[in-house]
Amino acid sequence: MKTDINKLREVIRHHERKYYVDDQPEISDAEFDKLMRELEELEKTSPDEVPSDSPTQRVGGSVSLGSRIPHRSPMLSLDNCFGKEELLAFGDRVNKILEDEPVEYVTELKIDGLGVSLLYENGIFSRGLTRGDGEFGEDVSGNLRTIRAVPLRLTGADPNAIPPVLEVRGEVFIPKHLLDEINVQREAQKETPFANPRNAAAGSVRTQSTSVTAQRPLDIFVYSLNYVEGYEFTTHSEALEKIKSLGFKCNPYTQVHDSLEDVVTYYDEWVAKREDIPYEVDGIVVKVNDLSQQNELGSTAKSPRWATSYKFPAHRSTTTIEKIEVQVGRTGVLTPVAILAPVKLAGATITHSTLHNEQEIVAKDIRIGDTVVLERAGDVIPKILDVLKDKRTGSEVEFSFPDQCPSCDTPVQRSESEVAIRCVNAGCSAQLKRRIEHYASRNALEIEGLGPATTNQLVDNGLVSDVADLYSLKSENVSKLERMGPGLTGYLIHEIERSKEAAAAKVLVGLSIFHVGETVAELLIEHFLSIDALSQADAKSIEAIPGIGPQIAESVCSFFTQNHQLIEKLKAAGLRCFTEEVAKKPPIIEDSFFTGKTFVVTGSLTDMTRTEASTQIKTRGGKVTSSVTGKTDYLIAGEGAGSKYDKAVELGVSILTAETFLEQIKEN
Ligand code: IVH
């Protein structure tokens, strides 16, 4: 019985691989579904014995958005080359360091998706992280295991040769042609469409619900073997072959070249074929193939010296402007938006483009009915590059900016000092809707399930008149809204409750204070420690913070003067950043062992987290950086220190054990 069930799992795994990884199915979908149903039935007889790598166990795993899990080694980014000159300059730098040894290059397509790492222990998928900030990633294991091209168990000719620990890295993506389908669905549900396949991939992986991810047509190409125990390789291409044999999906268009001239040919070929590739590719990646050469070249804090990306030119297309609408932003700024005849650009159908402000329209002489060139460079939202004036027929209409807010009819305000035209009505419902959306956004309180559709209804039905009202929403009122069943309502209320735990800087961002984004909010909280203290500060003391100018200081002060009641309501709602005792920032000790020295902390320290260790160093006047370089004075190496330790040894950087470090902290 047990062997039957295991055999069936093996058979299903084989067909999953044939279908999702090799793209060479051997049986029909119906036959595959039948095998899955058979396995599900068999597993029902002993549900407690279903292993985590069974093909039935793809949905329902755990996800911990917001978690900060350290990467084994930093997930670096790549330097960019724009043009052949820059690529050749990259080659010159490589040759210089390698003293003109012969160099073989591997080229790969640079897939525009979401970078992730996948960890396997004894051949079983055990954890998947997003790239995060490169140093720490988020645990999205449950979502990554829903991707059928991610093996839950490694395969291989020799089951005894499965490495005990293996970490690969790759790019999760959504095929271009499926983006429009997802967006049609999203629009039907009054959700904002994804701007490009990359956002769709990121949005699908970074969600709390594995069943949402499972419905998205996500795929993956693994592009590197980051860590393995029990194997040695001499080249990157050899490592890729091994990865493939273990059941991972690698991009088929990888090539090895003897010279950068050949690399340029590869690039030119792919620029020409770019639109035919079924997934979004924003360039090629060029990597030195030999791993010992890679090692010799090493990395800067941000990117390896042995690799670069050679970017494709920006996507361009022409279309016409059908109308110009004016949108009201969360701070009352009125933004003209061009409504376009739909056009495909970089995998997405574009129907809108911001015109920024009235001046932009005047400067470019943009008229309704004009034919325009639309450009999208990399990640950036598409913009109107140019007006094709020779295509004008005379029927184009000049746009005149409205004198009243399109939402609340209040006369608009123009000022001498800025280009923005504003609606200054504090009660304008369009502004309120955008403020609530922003409050719930990823940069602020990260309340999932509070998109434009729900927000609009909450405001239109009078259920909220400021962000603090979110905390007194009642299930019975929310569940009456369109498309809000008891499930979604429960989830939303839970998410709102969860947001009470948000850090002060996040809440500050969420308040939609003019000129206060993430960086400014961090600076303000770092200085004042709490929103309460900040709200009582005068412009002078705010302006005294390095990096904060008079405009920001003025805006913060006037916000708190006008929004006293809102802050009191948030306090009463029980947001943790208002209620908890704020730790007094310890004064910087100016003369200590740490003063003026640069530290890197790695591995796990017994008595404190790495963040705490960093704080201790900083308060003693030391500097903490993320990678070991010639400028590092000390590496603090805890349990399980890896590549940073090796690097420190290689560069002759002094190493402190966790114990010595703690002793120094006590003494200083
Ligand atoms: S190599 C240190 N190879 O591009 C080496 N990256 O800025 C870096 N990417 O976030 C990764 N396709 O997620 C590599 N074939 C490829 C890639 C690739 C896409 C992404 C990667 C990273 C970004 C680099």
Do 545 and 460 share a structural domain?
A: no
Same structural domain for residues 205 and 166? yes
Q: Whose CA is nearest to atom 18 of ligand 1?
A: 110
pLDDT digits (tens, 9 = 90+) for 260-269: 999 999 999 9
Residue 358 lies in a domain: yes
Q: How far is the CA of 13 from the centre of ligand 1 (A)?
A: 28
14 in a structural domain = yes
Q: Is the CB of 131 under 6 A from ligand 1?
A: yes
Residue 485 sits at the vertex; the CA angle it makes with 480 and 491, to the nearest 5 degrees, is 110
Q: Ligand 1 pocket test: which of 309, 310, 627, 643 has the largest number of ligand atoms within 8 Å of its C-beta? A: 309
Ligand 1 center to residue 180 CA distance, Å? 25
| pLDDT at residue 186 in the model | 85
Q: Which atom of ligand 1 is nearest to the CA of 116?
A: 13
**Residue-level pLDDT at 587:** 62
Q: What is the CATH number of the domain that holds 183?
A: 3.30.470.30
Dist CA 331 CA 405 (whole Å)? 13
Our answer on whether the CB atom of 78 is closer than 6 Å to any ligand 1 atom is yes
Do 521 and 548 meet the contact criterion of CB atoms below 8 Å apart? no
Whose Cα sits closest to atom 2 in ligand 1? Answer: 76
Q: Is residue 415 a part of any domain in this protein?
A: no
Do you know the residue count of the chain? 668
Number of domain units in the chain: 6
Specify the CATH number for the domain of residue 24: 1.10.287.610
Q: Which of 249, 63, 217, 57 has the alpha carbon at shortest distance from 143?
A: 63
Enter the pTM of the model. Answer: 0.67
Residue 409 within a domain: no
DSSP symbols for 610-652: HHHHHHHHHHTT-EE-SS--TT--EEEE-BT--HHHHHHHHHT
Question: Is residue 63 one of the residues assigned to a domain?
Answer: no
Sign of torsion, CA 370 375 381 384? Answer: negative
| Same domain (yes/no): 492, 512 | no
- Tell me, yes or no, whether 450 lies in a domain: yes
**Active-site choice (110, 176, 287, 644):** 110
- Identify whether residues 518 and 494 lie together within a single domain: no
What's the pLDDT score for residue 157?
Answer: 64
Same domain as 188, residue 305: yes
Q: How far apart are CA 519 and CA 534, in angstroms?
A: 15
Find out whether the beta carbon of 171 lies less than 6 Å from any atom of ligand 1: yes
CA distance 564 to 566: 6
Identify whether residues 163 and 296 lie together within a single domain. Answer: yes
Locus of tokens 């020779």 = 390
**Distance (Å, rounded) from C-alpha 661 to C-alpha 634?**
10
Task: Please tell me if the CB atom of residue 8 comes closer than 6 angstroms to any atom of ligand 1.
Answer: no
Which one of 545, 579, 613 terminates a domain?
A: 579
Q: Give residue 227's pLDDT.
A: 96
- My answer on whether 159 and 42 are in the same domain is no
Residue 351 near residue 340 (C-beta atoms within 8 A): yes
Give the position, in ligand 1's atom list, of the atom nearest the Cα of 75. Answer: 2
Residues 288 and 189 in one domain: yes
Could you tell me if 185 and 267 lie in one domain? yes
* Beta bridge mates, 369: none
Are the C-beta atoms of residues 237 and 287 closer than 8 Å to each other?
Answer: no
Judgement on whether residues 142 and 243 belong to the same structural domain of the protein:
yes
Contact (Cβ atoms closer than 8 angstroms) between residue 207 and residue 213: yes
Same domain, 515 and 649: no
549 alpha carbon – ligand 1 mean position (Å): 37
The CATH code of the domain that includes 640 is: 3.40.50.10190
Residues 215 and 133 in one domain: yes
Element (H, E) at 126: strand 124-130
**Residue 422: inside a domain, yes or no?**
no
196 neighbors 252 (Cβ within 8 angstroms) = no
Structure letter (DSSP) for residue 47 = G
The answer to whether 110 is a known catalytic residue is yes
Alpha-helical (H) ranges within 206-313 are 210-215, 236-245, 260-273, 291-297
CATH of residue 357's domain is 2.40.50.140
For ligand 1, the distance from its centroid to the CA atom of residue 105, given in whole angstroms, is: 15
285 lines ligand 1 (CB under 6 A): yes
- In a mutational test of the pocket of ligand 1, which residue from 110, 221, 299 has the highest number of ligand atoms less than 8 Å from its CB? 110
Distance (angstroms) between ligand 1 centre and the Cα of 179 equals 22
Is 232 a domain residue?
Answer: yes
pLDDT at 382: 86
**Other beta carbons within 10 Å of 10:** 13
pLDDT at 335: 96
Positions of the chain with pLDDT under 50: none
pLDDT at 9: 96
Per-residue confidence (pLDDT) for residue 345, from 0 to 100: 86
Please identify, by atom number, the ligand 1 atom nearest to the C-alpha of residue 110.
12
Confirm if 430 and 328 have CB atoms less than 8 A apart. yes
- Which residue range(s) make up the domain with 257? 80-311
> Does residue 304 have its Cβ closer than 6 Å to ligand 1?
yes
240 lines ligand 1 (CB under 6 A): no
Paired strand residues for 228: 166
Q: What are phi and psi of 312, to 5 degrees?
A: -75, 155
